Amino acid sequence: MTNKDHIYQIVRSIPAGKVATYGQIAKLTGINSPRVVGNILHNNPDPVGTPCYKVVNHQGRVAENFGNGKQTQIDKLKADGVTFVKPDYVDLAKHLWRPNPAQ
């Protein structure tokens, strides 16, 4: 499995109401840089099947350059039940995904 495939697999496993950070996904895949994860997700060929809107930065902030704009990401997260502590910052204390270490 390539790093790209592994990233997409992890993103598909994030449950509704939860988010992951680019850094978490980098660590789970053995990639040295969260930016690499961000670049791969920015080029996601299947946004319906691989819900990259569930990935935020380490502070919980949504992506400025998300597909159709950050408001689209915010709207999708809110539809999933995710709440915010600031207009574009997810409440990580409540919604940060804690994956199974075996993944």
Q: Supply the pLDDT for residue 76.
A: 96
Q: How do the domains of the chain map onto residue ranges?
A: 3-95
- Is domain 3-95 classified as CATH 1.10.10.10? yes
H-run or E-run covering 89: strand 89-90
Cβ–Cβ < 8 Å for 83, 95: yes
Q: What is the pLDDT of residues 41-88, one digit of tens each?
A: 999 999 899 999 999 999 999 998 887 789 999 999 999 999 999 999
Cβ–Cβ < 8 Å for 59, 21: no
Confidence of residue 8 (pLDDT cuts 50, 70, 90): very high
Distance (Å) of CA 93 to CA 25, 76, 78, 97: 18, 19, 16, 10
pTM of the full predicted structure? 0.93
As annotated, the active-site residues are 52
Q: Supply the pLDDT for residue 28.
A: 94
